[in-house]
Amino acid sequence: MEVKTPHIKAFPYEEFRDNETLEELSRQLNEGGANVVVSKLDDLINWGRSNSLWSLTFATSCCGIEFMSIGCARYDFARFGFEVTRNSPRQADLIMCAGTITNKMAPVLKRLYEQMAAPKYVVAVGGCAISGGPFKKSYHVLQGIDKIIPVDVYIPGCPPRPEALLYGMIQLQRKVKVEKFFGGANHKEKNPHPLVIDFKGMAKEKLEEVKKFIKKEIDNTWK
């Protein structure tokens, strides 16, 4: 039983750009092989997940207006199951980062991302979120959100047209479909906050305290 190429209704496989990344992803997953029962369940769950992607309403600038446009009657992303937007990161599946992220906003974005429950996805919308866009040279603009959080889909444009946004979201759907929900998930991230302790110049009492803490942590892990 293998992870197959994802099928999107009314959008032939050959018409997508960049099928290679997806094929590489499924090849990596298939290397391990999979249990027949589990992968059947995977298919079912991924079918559900990919057709009900809930996004966090996170718009900082122009691209946010285009995000509103695709929610409305003309472009209507409810056709694909994206229509539920959440104001709380805890209930959202993905962040559509629509707009420039500045140095002052970057810690906030990082926090929002960390507050989301896994599996979670990030879509970088527009030139600013991808690389800083026209404001790249500025003293206060983050040069691409992939510097602070992992990005799944990039949608270029300034701002991208609604059609481009929809295409990007469908690409994300395909990515969700090529995933193992049980077992070898390929969307598991490494611990974002490795514990770094600087022992240099630490007072003796403090050092003892830290040692005790580490011992306790290790004990807890092994229990």
Phi and psi dihedrals of 102, rounded to 5? -95, 170
Is residue 93 part of the contact set for another protein (CB under 8 A)?
Answer: no
CA distance linking residue 116 with residue 191, whole number of Å:
14
Span from 3-11, 108-116, 166-174, 200-208 in contact with another protein (CB under 8 A)? 108-116
Q: Contact between 134 and another protein (CB under 8 A)?
A: yes
- Counting contacts by CB under 8 A, is residue 108 touching another protein? yes
State the sign of the Cα–Cα–Cα–Cα dihedral 87, 151, 51, 191. negative
Nearer to another protein, 139 or 222 (CB): 139
Backbone angles phi, psi at 20, to 5 degrees: -65, -45
Contact 159, 126 (CB under 8 A): yes
| 96 within 8 A of 58, measured Cβ to Cβ | yes
> Using the rule CB under 8 A, which residue among 49, 135, 146, 184 binds another protein?
135
Instruction: Determine which residue in the list 29, 34, 96, 112 makes contact with another protein, applying CB under 8 A.
Output: 112
67 sits near another protein (criterion: CB under 8 A): no
Instruction: Give the E-state strand segments of 46-139 in sequence order.
Output: 55-56, 85-86, 94-98, 121-125
Among 19, 30, 51, 60, binds another protein (CB under 8 A): 60
| H/E run at residue 98 | strand 94-98
Q: Report the chain's C-alpha Rg in angstroms.
A: 21
68 binding another protein? (CB under 8 A)? yes
Cα 182–184–188 angle (5° rounding)? 95
Site mask for another protein (CB under 8 A), range 182-201, x = bound: --------------------
Distance CA 36, CA 86 (A): 35
Write down the least CB distance from residue 66 to another protein, Å. 6
Q: Which residues pair with 102 in a beta bridge?
A: 141
In the list 29, 125, 141, 176, the residue contacting another protein (rule: CB under 8 A) is 141
- If one asks whether residue 73 binds another protein (CB under 8 A), the answer comes out as yes
- Min dist CB 192 to another protein, Å, is 13
Return the number of the residue (140 or 216) whose C-beta is nearest another protein.
140
Q: Segment contacting another protein (CB under 8 A): 41-49, 95-103, 167-175, 214-222? A: 95-103
Residue with token string 């609604």: 162
Cα 94–98–102 angle (5° rounding)?
A: 110
Binding site for another protein (CB under 8 A): 57-62, 64-66, 68-69, 72-74, 87, 99-100, 102-108, 111-112, 134-135, 137-142, 147-148, 158-159, 161-162
